[in-house]
Structure 1
Amino acid sequence: MADSSSSSHSLSPSSSPSSSSVRRIIHSALQLFCWKQPKTSAAAFGVSLTVLVSLSKVSIISVVSYLLLTCLCVTITFRVYKAVIQAVQKSEEGHPFKSLLDRDISVSSETVRPLIDQGLIHVNWFICQTRRLLLVEDVVDSVKLAVVMWLMTYIGAVFNGLSLLILADVVLFMSPLIYQKKKSQIDELIKSVRSRFEETLMKLQNRLPGAVKRTKTG
C-alpha cells in the first residue's frame, strides 16, 4: 500500500522534474521582465533590442558576425592586456579567463528532456485547439479567432515580423514598469474593455441560431 502511494506521489504533476524545470524558467523570465534585478534586465533589454533593430537593418549573418567580432575584440584586448601586465609585474596569475574555461557549460540530457516533454504537451494542446477552432466545434470561439485573424491582417499590412518582435520586446520590458506606476488606472481600463467585449460577445451569441449557440455547462 505504501508503494502505491509513493509511486502516485512521484507521478504527480507538482513533483515531476518537467513541471519544476518549466516553473524555474517561467520564474526567471518573470524576474527578468519585472526588473527584479535592474542591471540584468537593463542588459537583456539593451542587447535584445540592439539585436532586433540590427536585424531589421542588415542580414542576420552580418549581425552575428559583428556580435562575435565585438566579443572577440574585447576578449583578445583584455587577454593581451593581462599578459603584458603579468610580464611587467612578473606575476604568475595565469589565464584571465581560466575560471570561465574550467566551468562546465555542457547541456545534459537530464536538462533538455523535461523541456522537450513539456514542449510536446504544449504542441499537442495547440494542435487540438487549432482543429477545434478551424472545424467550428464552438461557433463563438471560432468567431473570436476570425476576428483576431482579421485584425492581424491590418497589423501585418503595417508591420513586418521584425517590427512586431521589436514592439513585443519593448512591451515585455516596459509594461511592468508602467503597470507598477499606473496600476489602478490600467486595472480600471482593462475591466471596462473586458466588460464591453463580453457584452458585445453576448449580444452576438444571442443572435445565433439555437442549434449553434455555445453549450453552457452548469
Structure 2
Amino acid sequence: MKSLCILSVALVLGTGSATIAFADDYDLDALRAATEKYKDVNVALAEGFIQDPTGHCVTAGAEGLPAEWGGMGIHYLRPDLLKLAAPSERVDGNGTHTDFTQPAILLYEPQADGSLELVAIENLVFKKAWDAAGHGGPPMINGRSWDHMADNPDTDADEAHNFMPHYDQHVWLFRKNPSGDLMPFNPAVNCDHHSK
C-alpha cells in the first residue's frame, strides 16, 4: 500500500548549491492553539479534509525503515490546499501551500476504542509547482529544511510512495516526539489499533 508522506532517507539539509527561497518561523504553542480544533475529526471532515484513500496507517517498520523510528498515523488531507491533479500513474498536484496555521494534512493515531487522536499536522508542496513559483530551494520551518521525497529509479523501492517529487514537513504538536518536533516519524506513535 502506498502512503501519503513518508521520510525520504536522504533529508534535504542543504546540498551546498541549493538556496533557501522560503522560510517561516512559528511559535509552536501558538500553532497548537490555532489547530487544536482538529482534535475532533468531525471538524476536520466539515472543513474539507478526507482520509488518505489508501486508509493506510503509516509506521516506519511497515515502510521498510527502522521500526524504532515509530509511526505517523493515518493521514487526512485537504485536496483543495494540495491542488491535486486528475488521477494518473503517480499522485501529482500544483500545491504550494505552506501555512501551518491552516495545514493541508492532519495525522491521527487510532485508539483502542476506535476513536482517532490528533498527533501532528503536516504540509506538502509539489516540487515542480514549487520551482515554477520561483523558489530556488526547499521551504524551511524554524530553521529546518522540509524533507524532500523523490523516487529513485535505480532501486526497487518507491521512495516517494506513489507521489511525484515533493517536499513535506511534519509538526508534532499533539504528541511529544522524542526525535524532535519537526521530524517525520515519532517513536511515541503506533498503529497497533488500526483496522482498515
Judging by fraction of residues, say which structure has more strand.
Answer: 2
Higher relative contact order (CA 8 A, sep 6+): 1
Q: TM-score, normalization: structure 2?
A: 0.20
Is the radius of gyration larger for structure 1 or structure 2? 1
Q: TM-score, normalization: structure 1?
A: 0.19
Judging by fraction of residues, say which structure has more helix.
Answer: 1
